[in-house]
Structure 1
Amino acid sequence: MHQLGKQVPTNMLALLASGEIASNSAPGRAATRLQEELAQRRIDLITTVSSDDASAMLRANPAIQCLLLNWELPGSGHPPALNVLEQLRARNLHLPVFLLADRETVSNMPRRALELANDFIWILEDTPTFIGGRIQGAIRRYSQAVLPPMFAALTHFSHVHEYSWHTPGHTGGTAFLKSPAGRAFYDFFGENMLRSDLSISVTELGSLLDHTGPIAAGERYAAKVFGADRTYYVTNGSSTSNRVIVMASVTRGQLALCDRNCHKSVEHAITMSGAVPTYLIPLRNHYGLIGPIPPDQLTKAAISEAIVNNPLAGSADSPRAVHAVITNSTYDGLCYNVRRVEELLGESVDRLHFDEAWYAYARFNPIYRDRFAMYDSEDDEPHTGPTKFATQSTHKLLAALSQASMIHIRDGRSPIEHGRFNEAFMLHASTSPLYSIMASNDVSAAMMDGPGGTALTGESIAEAVAFRQVLARLKREYGEKGEWFFDGWQPDQVTEPSSGQKYAFHSAPTELLCSEASCWLLNPGDSWHGFGELEKGYCMLDPIKVSITTPGMQRNSQLAEWGIPAGIISKYLDNLGIIVEKTTDFTILFLFSIGITKGKWGTLINALLAFKRDYDANQPLSQCLPNLLAKHSGYADMGLRDLAQKMFNRMKELRSTAKMSAGFSALPQADCSPVQAYEALVRGEVELLPLSQLAGRSAATGVIPYPPGIPLLMPGENFGSEGSPALEYLRVLESFDREFPGFGHDNHGVEVHKGHYHVYTLNRGTAP
């Protein structure tokens, strides 16, 4: 291992694509001499002899810093070398490319090739030393230009500064070398991560709180890439980003319109700000999946009616809302037409806030056109609509580190200038942010910049479509034999827009599904989505958020005679090392991020087939769910099918899916505002009660089944009567958890004592 503080030079990397590399010819011998020269300059040279191999290598190895391309390269394409160039530039505009050709060839070369290449090498005329120097210079310029501003400054600083006298106390990692545990930590995470863990005292990198220096340059760069007027880096996740926006925009005594399908961080922000919430209720379908807020709920008349019917609105300073929060896309991948939402809500509010935590990639693929907050305007006129905010968790489906998030702002009516907004930002930001998190935001922006973003998102969509079609094909083939299999939540058939040709989903052209947004629209009345007569074009399913459906739930919202609860499949997959994103009664969500591979989803298909075999054979749980039996021996004598049927029968008796939908669709009576309930909690004016005593009482905290972290009740809301939808659903969860240990639900705001749910409620007489 090298000494701490000493950087070991990393070799540069180039690719030589030529069919004459190994030949005993003048070009072959010249290529050998060039390779020897490059090795002396610490430039490793990878070689390939065909256009197909060259393109594959460029796709697979982004560490390549230069391409040396023989114009006479054999392979596919007309000509093959031009095919390599076009495929490269579809992903990377800046990689230096030297064409190996003679002057006569260049004079007859297509104009397109001249546009895509950077320079020429006369390998039989110029010396290896001269050519090597040009390649080395091009690689160095590329390496400096490819890094985004903040990350470039951070890498430079970590290379130059040897000693630190500031925090953090490990001083670049040296403290860890003084104990065995510390040394193990150092070896695990590596020197560069520790050397880049710096203090806000390092003025060379600027300040996250003041938005100066390279950090500010990174935020400006990200704003350009993501289409915002301003962007702020956040190191505490989109939960904090949501709190910053709400607390900068709306305060005590002001009305805020709030998507009831909001993450609990929005609930926290409403509580902290003292805002008075008026809720917008989204649809639910037969699976209990959250749909969009119908457009007729967003009209000026509907918003006015919702405010009039809000018992808390009388405490507001004005009947006009100042802020609105919409979740886009939803956890299950439903994306609004944001132009339409802006048109509707813009009549009622001057600030629109889109929680796009799971949707940071949308700008970079044309299939999502107009379905994200920072969509491109059709003209260069100043934005006259509402001021728009978007929060994006760059760590969720881009490539940033955990807790990395961005706030994007596009100013319109009622803007919040930087100085005022930054006060809310500083209220939540740490004075000791982790620089590697900020740098990963920088790199996420760089990965999406230019054609790279389109290529990466296109690959995610293509992999998701391939998986969906395999799943649909297997469903059809098993169905033809009278057997069951899993299905995907997606359209049954799609239509090619120009020809009107209809295709069953499994047999549709892949390119059509990967590029045509109309294939993913929730068309009015389509039974597959279950949200009724939605406005045409209003809502679209994101192809990369794949919900697998399990047998048991029918489209008429009735349970079948038999079924397989999704929780059992998630447990089975977990036993195989496959961790799912979200599980409902009959759906399992998988996210096809930019890190997905064919091998990864191919393994998932194999696991689903293995589950079917084990289920059909009623395989003993000791063999297929050993992790479950290790903790809960009560299942010891059961087979996989036995457990599934027992659990399904109980869910049918409890009507768990229907009661979930009812619980989330009914808006409880608000006895006081969230901030008033929280203040009572802090003062201790609360009591912890079991479900049997909650009727008629007000919740002191949010009650939030997780995932996805959507409030069933907000602080200050009443549990309702003994048979209210909220209490009925909580009783279902409590009963199920007691009967099926190991399959329990995670409910924030609920404490479990001896198998019984308890919730903090306001003391009687506390609620105003």
Structure 2
Amino acid sequence: MQSMSEYYSAIQLRSDRWSALREATASLARRPGGKAETTAARKVEELLDSLSEIEAYWAFPNMAAFDYIRRQYEHGNFDDLNYMVRKVVRALASGAYRRRHILLDRDDSDADDHEDESMQSLEARALAKPYFEVLIVDQVNEHQERWLKKSVASMRRAEDKCIYEPVVVPSLEDALIAILFNHNIQAVVVRPGLVLKSNTDLSILKQYLGHVGGEAELEALPPEHLGPELCRLIDQVRPELDAYLVTDRSVEEIAGLDLGVCRRVFYNQEDFLELHLNILRGVEARFKTPFFNALKEYSKQPTGVFHAMPISRGKSISRSHWIQDMGAFYGPNIFLAETSATSGGLDSLLEPHGPIKEAQELASRAFGSKQTFFATNGTSTCNKIVVQALVRPDDIVLVDRDCHKSHHYGMVLAGANVVYLDSYPLDEYSMYGAVPLHEIKHRLLELKAAGKLDRVRMLLLTNCTFDGLVYNVERVMEECLAIKPDLIFLWDEAWFAFARFNPTYRQRTGMNAANNLRKRLKSEPHIKAYEKQQAKLKDADDDVLLKTRLIPSPDARVRVYTTQSTHKTLTSLRQGSMIHVNDQDFKGEVEQSFHEAYMTHTSTSPNYQIIASLDVGRRQVELEGFEFVQRQVEAAMAMRRAISTHPLLRKYFKVLAAGDMIPERHRESGVESYYDPEQGFTDMWECWEKDEFVLDPTRVTLAVGGTGWDGDTFKTQILMDKYGIQINKTSRNSVLFMTNIGTTRSSVAYLIEVLVEIAKGLDDLLDDASKMEKLGFERRVKNLMEDLPPLPDFSRFHDAFRTDNITPEGDIRSAFFLSYDENNCDYLALDGSIKDAMASGQEVVSASFIIPYPPGFPILVPGQVVSHEILDFMRALDVDEIHGYRPDLGLRVFTQEALKAHASPKLKAAE
């Protein structure tokens, strides 16, 4: 039996334990006799013991039923034991326990084969009442627990829209364990009888208790404070849940306490009906999808369409003799719900007042923002909206050079002066990391020394990067605000929308960090710490400031924006995205300009299906985002473990760990890998709490250079063409596998099977290869894994696009539009004329963006001086798609005459 360290979570452990118990009881029921029977009995006993420690946290099969199953084993009723375990496993796997009561005793009226929920039609599943579980926290005896459950069950009514089962635990610690690992829990009832300590002694669960509140602080609390404290801790761990506090304390005592997610306080009463109604109302509030519901209702209405869109109501399809296959493929509803009308119960995305406005407000609640805006043409447009709304011509913006191309184009549209920030390079894998905080602070202090800090408007960073590198968001913001107290932050979280719904990930999201900072900046401890540091750093130079963890002024303004591709990591139709705002100055300073920017970039004919999918996607993550993200991480961790421990796979492949992708100086925790074959899984919380950068484990970067294939060849000719496995990003010697909330353990298993088959094929190929063929293979591997060109840093903007030689910002807009006149441009060949020009001492300046796809960020921007390092890198690129570059003509550059004519007046004056 695998040790607990081999499991990333208790959910995965529980599922595998029940499956193992089914196999063990089946063996025991066959009564093989002798040593085999003794071995099977011992295994059953071990599995029952391990499950007994965690079954108390789930409503099915519940502890009474579990104890009944155990008694069958103790009494030697092995056939009945096997029958019951088999029924439990089938019910858990199929979800049958969510639809009906499962009888464990043999009963001919109860079908032995439970219908798998996934095999039902979507219509049948949509008609079923949603199921969830309610956690009741109270120290009660067995009789009182039965009474509590019976009292709750007696409140059920036929008209209830949902059904739920109670789970009763005695302590605050047990409650935290339950909400961390039982994804079915949607509400918590905290009664006055709870105690602090759990009787459970299970390290895989207990390790998380220290992450949500200091143990010493909890032990110092008087018993009457445990209930309110639990509500607060629930808010930290799973803020989407509803909590209800039953108390015998006075109103005055409760009123001043932080009650976190507590929706209502019940005083000294056993009004189970009122509690029942509140529980249902709370869940229904999250289940509500105002725009999706409005669109469904619209599709049912008989209408006469006398406006644009012949496809509306499907008329242009149903009347056609030639495109009936389109109607058959998509079905009728998508066309019945297609319209350009904003009335009839619908709404306008550009001026929302009805269901779209309400849907955006619900999304704001779900993602922890102050305002949320929907977008139907992707995060590329979201990025341009935010930049245009906030950045004025000649403002200075600090930008991650490796960010998505939409940000660079946004800088052009806004007329920003750009300071590009360099990420640390990972030359051995031909990819960039992320921008160190030292680099950001250095640039801010440099601009401050030049007297330009008042022009610095925004810091723009990608969190997390395509390769999964995640910033310490809160620390970056607090140290930057210590230098410039009104700096605006735009965090591009295109690949990170799911992070809100996991307690480990959440702490590194823009909205969560903004909320923490707003609260902390006004706290008394922070004010004192700030005053103390100010006195200490009174005459400090930049070197000292760079080495010091700076504390921002209590008067600093928290101004944070995040853009998220909902369609990339959550449930939404393609191009469904959101903008989340947490800006203290939004109402007074930004609201009007944001509205104008939104109107500029948003279509007047937005796709209603995308908007509805955003609404439904929000519902999903509020009700089951915790479960889905947990399973996503589990799938990725299982993939990492399988590849890292397979002896054949390790010959040709390597899963890149945190130690490979994050230099040691940025990993204060010292953790190099989230999984070690000898020690099992590492507790990620410490890394995510302390380190400057962490690696998102749901992105698995696999070094494939050992196969002799480069990343692009491995992606297209091997994975896609031969096995039908789709991936997006590659580097010269790596491929990136991204798990998502739809990834299953079966998908992971198939991938491992494919990799094993590829490895076996390579073994056979090399086994039969001639000496020269083996040398050729070794040479290809060496070329891919050792002979790699160093990644180039951003060189600099040409003097023609700068105002001085003191700080590095450049006018990217003027360079971009200067290239519109063909007379200002020329083409130089990479291996010919460009080399000759640079050898003669001429500065070659790019006239366009040069963007390899993937990964989609520029290696050259308009106005940037071409360096030898950039040329070497371009020659070594092995991707088929490079936007802005024409192999038939060469690199588009500015003529020397154009550069001279456009030279900055300030620089001319200086000369």
The two structures have a TM-score, normalised by structure 2, of 0.61
Aligned pair in 2 of structure 1 residues 444, 201: CA closer, same or farther (>3 Å)? closer
Q: CA deviation at 1:54?
A: 3.1
Rounded to whole Å, the distance in 1 between the matches of 2:493 and 2:619 is 19
Rounded to whole Å, the distance in 1 between the matches of 2:382 and 2:726 is 27
> Does residue 517 of the first structure (1) align with residue 685 of the second (2)?
yes
Alignment check: 8 A CA contact 2:471 2:693 kept:
yes
Rounded to whole Å, the distance in 2 between the matches of 1:153 and 1:703 is 45
SS of aligned partner of 2:566: coil
Query: Which of 748, 752, 757 pairs up with 2:883?
Result: 748
Rounded to whole Å, the distance in 2 between the matches of 1:378 and 1:728 is 45
Alignment-mate amino acid for residue 506 of structure 1:
P
Rounded to whole Å, the distance in 1 between the matches of 2:898 and 2:518 is 56
Aligned pair in 2 of structure 1 residues 664, 615: CA closer, same or farther (>3 Å)? farther
Q: CA deviation at 1:746?
A: 1.6
Residue number in structure 1 paired with 2:700:
546
Note the alpha carbon deviations across 1:58-82, whole angstroms, 9 max, x for none. 3xx8xx9x7443698899xxxxxxx
SS of aligned partner of 2:651: coil
> Does residue 298 of the first structure (1) align with residue 465 of the second (2)?
no
Residue number in structure 1 paired with 2:747:
600
Alignment check: 8 A CA contact 1:351 1:413 kept:
no
SS of aligned partner of 2:632: helix
Q: CA deviation at 1:160?
A: 2.5
Q: CA deviation at 1:360?
A: 0.3
Alignment-mate amino acid for residue 510 of structure 2:
A
Alignment of 1:423-434 (within 5 A): 423-434=596-607
Alignment check: 8 A CA contact 1:149 1:218 kept:
yes
Residue number in structure 2 paired with 1:567:
712
Aligned pair in 2 of structure 1 residues 650, 289: CA closer, same or farther (>3 Å)? closer
Alignment check: 8 A CA contact 1:251 1:275 kept:
yes
Q: CA deviation at 1:224?
A: 0.4
Residue number in structure 1 paired with 2:477:
342
Rounded to whole Å, the distance in 2 between the matches of 1:501 and 1:750 is 39
Alignment of 1:102-501 (within 5 A): 109-110=145-146, 113=149, 119=154, 134=159, 146-202=287-343, 204-285=345-426, 286-299=428-441, 301-305=442-446, 320-346=455-481, 347-348=483-484, 349-375=486-512, 377-378=515-516, 381=519, 384-412=556-584, 416-450=589-623, 452-474=624-646, 477-478=647-648, 484-491=651-658
Alignment-mate amino acid for residue 789 of structure 2:
A
Alignment-mate amino acid for residue 598 of structure 2:
F
Rounded to whole Å, the distance in 2 between the matches of 1:363 and 1:110 is 36
> Does residue 687 of the first structure (1) align with residue 826 of the second (2)?
yes
Alignment check: 8 A CA contact 1:690 1:759 kept:
no
Query: Which of 664, 678, 692 pairs up with 2:816?
Result: 678
Rounded to whole Å, the distance in 2 between the matches of 1:638 and 1:321 is 62
Aligned pair in 2 of structure 1 residues 207, 666: CA closer, same or farther (>3 Å)? same
Alignment check: 8 A CA contact 2:641 2:675 kept:
no
Note the alpha carbon deviations across 1:130-161, whole angstroms, 9 max, x for none. x8x55789799999973422112111211224
Note the alpha carbon deviations across 1:449-485, whole angstroms, 9 max, x for none. 14x11111000000100110001101xx349xxx713
Aligned length: 612
Alignment check: 8 A CA contact 2:387 2:414 kept:
yes
Report % sequence identity: 26
Alignment check: 8 A CA contact 1:67 1:95 kept:
yes
SS of aligned partner of 1:278: strand
Alignment-mate amino acid for residue 437 of structure 2:
P
Alignment-mate amino acid for residue 505 of structure 1:
D
Rounded to whole Å, the distance in 1 between the matches of 2:627 and 2:565 is 20
> Does residue 658 of the first structure (1) align with residue 793 of the second (2)?
no
Alignment-mate amino acid for residue 656 of structure 2:
W
Q: CA deviation at 1:179?
A: 2.8
Rounded to whole Å, the distance in 1 between the matches of 2:476 and 2:813 is 28
Rounded to whole Å, the distance in 1 between the matches of 2:105 and 2:300 is 40
Rounded to whole Å, the distance in 2 between the matches of 1:372 and 1:455 is 19
Rounded to whole Å, the distance in 1 between the matches of 2:499 and 2:162 is 36
Alignment check: 8 A CA contact 2:796 2:865 kept:
no
Rounded to whole Å, the distance in 2 between the matches of 1:744 and 1:690 is 18
Rounded to whole Å, the distance in 2 between the matches of 1:191 and 1:642 is 61
Rounded to whole Å, the distance in 1 between the matches of 2:874 and 2:673 is 44
Aligned pair in 2 of structure 1 residues 145, 619: CA closer, same or farther (>3 Å)? same
Q: CA deviation at 1:589?
A: 0.5
Alignment check: 8 A CA contact 2:657 2:673 kept:
no
Alignment check: 8 A CA contact 1:492 1:505 kept:
no
Q: CA deviation at 1:94?
A: 6.3
Rounded to whole Å, the distance in 1 between the matches of 2:637 and 2:421 is 32
Residue number in structure 1 paired with 2:738:
591
Aligned pair in 2 of structure 1 residues 145, 501: CA closer, same or farther (>3 Å)? closer
Rounded to whole Å, the distance in 1 between the matches of 2:505 and 2:871 is 39
Q: CA deviation at 1:387?
A: 0.6
Rounded to whole Å, the distance in 2 between the matches of 1:200 and 1:640 is 67
Alignment-mate amino acid for residue 57 of structure 1:
S
Larger helix proportion, structure 1 or 2? 2
Aligned pair in 2 of structure 1 residues 599, 51: CA closer, same or farther (>3 Å)? closer
Query: Which of 81, 85, 95 pairs up with 2:131?
Result: 95
Query: Which of 101, 113, 132 pairs up with 1:69?
Result: 101
Alignment-mate amino acid for residue 340 of structure 1:
R
Rounded to whole Å, the distance in 1 between the matches of 2:301 and 2:891 is 57
Alignment check: 8 A CA contact 1:687 1:763 kept:
no
Aligned pair in 2 of structure 1 residues 603, 765: CA closer, same or farther (>3 Å)? same
Aligned pair in 2 of structure 1 residues 120, 368: CA closer, same or farther (>3 Å)? same
SS of aligned partner of 2:420: strand
SS of aligned partner of 1:323: strand
SS of aligned partner of 1:582: coil
Rounded to whole Å, the distance in 2 between the matches of 1:455 and 1:670 is 54
SS of aligned partner of 1:716: coil
Aligned pair in 2 of structure 1 residues 503, 185: CA closer, same or farther (>3 Å)? closer
Note the alpha carbon deviations across 1:178-205, whole angstroms, 9 max, x for none. 3344211111112111222221443521
Rounded to whole Å, the distance in 2 between the matches of 1:503 and 1:758 is 43
Alignment of 1:14-93 (within 5 A): 50-58=87-95, 67-69=99-101
SS of aligned partner of 1:682: coil
Rounded to whole Å, the distance in 1 between the matches of 2:672 and 2:439 is 35
Aligned pair in 2 of structure 1 residues 745, 306: CA closer, same or farther (>3 Å)? farther
Aligned pair in 2 of structure 1 residues 357, 639: CA closer, same or farther (>3 Å)? farther
Aligned pair in 2 of structure 1 residues 670, 404: CA closer, same or farther (>3 Å)? farther
Alignment-mate amino acid for residue 461 of structure 2:
I
Rounded to whole Å, the distance in 2 between the matches of 1:638 and 1:163 is 77
Q: CA deviation at 1:173?
A: 1.1
Rounded to whole Å, the distance in 1 between the matches of 2:812 and 2:771 is 46
Alignment check: 8 A CA contact 2:852 2:879 kept:
no
Structure 1's unaligned 5+ residue stretches are 1-15, 19-47, 76-91, 99-105, 122-130, 522-535, 553-561, 621-636, 734-742
Rounded to whole Å, the distance in 2 between the matches of 1:411 and 1:638 is 66
Note the alpha carbon deviations across 1:334-359, whole angstroms, 9 max, x for none. 11111101012222352100001000
Alignment check: 8 A CA contact 2:655 2:702 kept:
yes
Alignment check: 8 A CA contact 1:680 1:762 kept:
no
Rounded to whole Å, the distance in 2 between the matches of 1:651 and 1:356 is 31
Alignment-mate amino acid for residue 357 of structure 2:
A
Alignment check: 8 A CA contact 1:335 1:539 kept:
yes
Alignment-mate amino acid for residue 686 of structure 2:
S
Residue number in structure 2 paired with 1:80:
none
Alignment check: 8 A CA contact 2:700 2:738 kept:
yes
The two structures have a TM-score, normalised by structure 1, of 0.71
